[in-house]
Amino acid sequence: MTQEKSLSNACREPLDKDLLGWTTSWLVTFAIASFGPIAVWQQSWITAVAVGVNFVIGILMIFANKRALGRLDELQRKIQLDATAICCMVGIVGGLSYSLLDITGLIGFDAQISHVVLLMGATYIVSLIIGRRHYA
Amino acid sequence: MKNRLKVLRAERDWTQADLAEALSVSRQTVNAIEKGKFDPSLPLAFKLARLFELPIEQIFEDES
């Protein structure tokens, strides 16, 4: 039991505060840019500023992600690379098939980009877990 | 790729965590190399060779 616990702790990478900070900032500014025009303001210039701020923070988040990858060791980086590759391919294949279903009228609702993002997020998490278990 | 990492580490009475710290990698990486699940890069293999003061061929064995 103790051995199991220590193994599971060792497999967990330390929380990257730099990346966490930028990801949280991006999410918060995304929520502000999405819900602000509906609930808080009506002026389109404020919306443009909110979207711009969200975009700039998004770019900084990408660089934070790159820095976070640089701090990992080679096995951790391989696990991340495998998960990212699977997530990317599932996003492309799944997203385009989903779009085709919408275009051809085989689904009764409009295809939303958020559904593809959710699919990619779930694929990335599952791939990461499988990768970590494989090398544990 | 087979390796003698576990034996060499045991001879020196080092834990996986000790070796991981000396190599600046995670314990999971040391464990995966020992089990033959992950082949280290050339720089990491050289680091291991320097640490154990052995040639790489005496640590790693090509299975092909």
Q: Does residue A3 carry a pLDDT above 60?
A: no
Name the residue with higher pLDDT: A91 or B62: A91
- Mean pLDDT along residues B29-35: 96
Q: Which residues of B36-53 are buried (b: 16+ CB within 10 A; e: fewer)?
A: eebebeeebbebbbebbe
User: What is the reported pLDDT for A26?
Assistant: 96
List the structure tokens of A68: 């976070």
In Å, what is the CA distance from A116 to each residue of A95, A105, A123, B26, B62?
6, 18, 10, 33, 43
- Mean pLDDT along residues B37-64: 93
Where residue B24 falls (left for φ over 0; alpha for ψ -120 to 50; beta otherwise) is left
Q: Do A134 and B27 touch (CB under 8 A)?
A: no
ipTM: 0.89
Q: Which of B25, B28, B39 has the highest number of chain A CBs within 10 A, making it the mutation to test binding with A? A: B28
Please report the residues numbered 51 through 90 in chain A whose beta carbons come closer than 8 angstroms to any beta carbon of chain B: 73-76, 78
Q: Does residue A93 carry a pLDDT above 80?
A: yes
Q: Do B28 and A11 touch (CB under 8 A)?
A: yes
Separation in Å, CA of A13 to nearest CA in chain B: 8
List the structure tokens of A102: 């919408």
Q: Do B28 and A78 touch (CB under 8 A)?
A: no
